[in-house]
Amino acid sequence: MESVIYILTIIGIPLLSPAVLGLIRKMKALMQSRHGASIFQPYLDLAKLFQKNEVISEDASWIFTFAPYIVFGSTLAIAWGIPLLGTVAALPATGDFLVFVYLIALGTFFLALAGMDTGGGFGGFGSSREMTFAALTEGGLIFSLAGVALMTGASTFAGMMSALQAAPLFAYLPLSLSGAAFFLALLSENARYPVDNPATHLELTMVHEAMILEYSGKRLALMEWAAGNKLLMFIVIFANIFVPWSPAALGTSAVAALVVLFAKITIIAGTIALIESTMSKFRFFRVPDLLFTSFVLGVISIVIIVL
């Protein structure tokens, strides 16, 4: 049983992430009273892209060709630090919340470089906007997780989860504040509404899409898959730490834990879909308000915790 869970923590996130993307798209389609593609559509897209040929710009350097591997590989490395079921992570060393934040930043760094590498106009401003948002999101991300770390006295996700099993009722006020902060950071980091439009066709509204505009074939597949992994990782962390009934608290029944985890993921994905179909995208210079808000929420929760 343990070994099954362990293997699941290793391959779970890259395995499930396309399905989560498909789930969100499906829910959005339903909100628009369409049927939409099936949940497993992203798998088909990835499979197709892996089979297609590639076209690479003549201006691109090794950064452009190498970046997808770094971006995808870093998401794998982070995923191994996140416990899915129970409090066991495949590789606790990368589960430290600062390591998590800075490994995410590493992926973003190379993604932005790749965007600038082809010398097209879109990639350039895409990476400019991406780095702007990433820089401003970091505060909220670090402080929302630091609140939990200060409350539980643990710095790894596994430690936080095992400490949160016995969380008193009052602990859920700072937890909810940190959770709100983390959720805003989630939306911004994963290029979701109201920060970015994941399904845009207008170059002027693109941030993440603008950077991968030049990619094709298997490298594009890696980039999109990595984006999916990132989203699923954020969702899992949110579900396991900020939402009550963490799998650790459910005791040893792994099946129950799995069911609860899937339920949570579905609910969070539904929330994201809801936001995307009811909100409008923010004006670029209003997004910082959102990100600073997330940061300050994290600060308030820390104040409540430590004072």
Partner 1 sequence: MALFFIQYGLWTAFGCFALGATLSVILGAYKAEKESWIVSHALATAGAVAALSFSVSALFFGEKLSYYSSFPIGIMQNLITLRVDILAAFFIAVISVVAIAASIFGSGYFKQYLGTYRLGHFGFFYNLFIASMVLVVIANNAFLFLLAWEGMAIASYFLVIFERKVEENVGAGMLYILISQLGVAFLFGAFLVLYRFSGSWDFDVIRVSTGSMPLLFQNIALALALIGLASKAGVIPLHIWLPEAHPAAPSHVSALMSGVMIKTAIFMMIRFFIDFFPTAHFSWGLILLGLGAVSSILGVLHALTEHDIKRLLAFHSVENIGIILLGLGASITFFSFGLTLFGAAALVAALYHTVNHALFKALLFLSAGSVVHATGTRNMEEYGGLIKLMPYTSAMFLVGAVAISGLPPFNGFVSEWLTFQSLFAGIAILPIVAKIVFLVGGASLAFTGGLAAACFVKAFGATFLARSRGHVSAHAHEASALAMTGMGMLALLCVLFGIGSGTIAPILMRIGSSFSSHAALTALPDPLQGLGSTAFSMPAIIIALITGLLATGAIVWMWAGRPTIRISRTWDCGVTLTPRMEITATGFSRSIILIFRGLLKPTSQTSIEYDDAQSHYFTKTKTVNLGLPDLYRDRIYVPIFALIERGAARARRIQTGNLNTYLLYIFITLIVLLVWTFR
Partner 2 sequence: MSTIPLVVLCAASVFALTLLMNIVRKNTTLVHLYLLQSLALAVALTSMSFVEGSSGLLYAAALTLAVKVVLAPAFFLRLIRKYEAHFSAASYINTPLSLLALTAITVFSYAFLYPQISGYVRSPSIPLLFAAIFGTLFLMVNRRGALAAIIGILSLENAVVLLAASLGIEHAFALELAVAFDIAVWVAIAAGFLGMMQRQFGAIDSAPLAMTHLTEE
Partner 3 sequence: MYRLFKKVITTPRTVIPRSAFTMPEDTHVREMGERLRQRVFSSLKGSLTIREVAAGSSNAEECELTALSNCYYDIERFGIKFTASPRHADALFVSGPVARNMSEPLRRAYEAMPEPRMVVAVGDGAIDGGVFKGSYAIVGGVKDVIPVDIEIPGDPPSPRAVIAAMLAVAEKLGSADR
Indicate whether 200 belongs to the interface with partner 1 (CB under 8 A).
no
State which residue, 96 or 130, has the beta carbon closest to partner 3: 130
State which residue, 121 or 244, has the beta carbon closest to partner 1: 121
Indicate whether 132 belongs to the interface with partner 2 (CB under 8 A).
no
List C-alpha distances in Å: 169 to 151, 239, 282, 305: 13, 18, 35, 13
Indicate whether 141 belongs to the interface with partner 2 (CB under 8 A).
no
State which residue, 34 or 286, has the beta carbon closest to partner 3: 34
User: How wide is the angle at C-alpha 80 spanned by C-alphas 77 and 256, nearest 5°?
Assistant: 155
List C-alpha distances in Å: 61 to 10, 113, 122, 208, 210: 32, 10, 17, 20, 18
Q: Which does 281 bind (CB under 5 to 8 A by kind): partner 2, partner 3, partner 1, none?
A: none
Half-sphere exposure of 214 (CA within 13 A, CB side): 27
Indicate whether 173 belongs to the interface with partner 2 (CB under 8 A).
yes
Q: Contact 88/6 with Cβ under 8 angstroms?
A: yes
Indicate whether 177 belongs to the interface with partner 1 (CB under 8 A).
no
Q: Contact 281/150 with Cβ under 8 angstroms?
A: no
Q: Which does 293 bind (CB under 5 to 8 A by kind): partner 2, partner 3, partner 1, none?
A: partner 2
Q: How far is the CB of 23 from partner 2 (least distance, A)?
A: 28
Question: What is the C-alpha to C-alpha distance for residues 223 and 82, in angstroms, rounded to an integer?
Answer: 21
Indicate whether 245 belongs to the interface with partner 2 (CB under 8 A).
no
Please give the residues from 219 up to 238 whose contact with partner 1 meets the rule CB under 8 A.
221-222
Question: What is the C-alpha to C-alpha distance for residues 16 and 23, in angstroms, rounded to an integer?
Answer: 11
Please give the residues from 90 up to 109 whose contact with partner 1 meets the rule CB under 8 A.
91-96, 98-99, 102-103, 105-106, 108-109
Site string for partner 2, 281-300 (x = CB under 8 A): -------xx--xx-xxx-xx
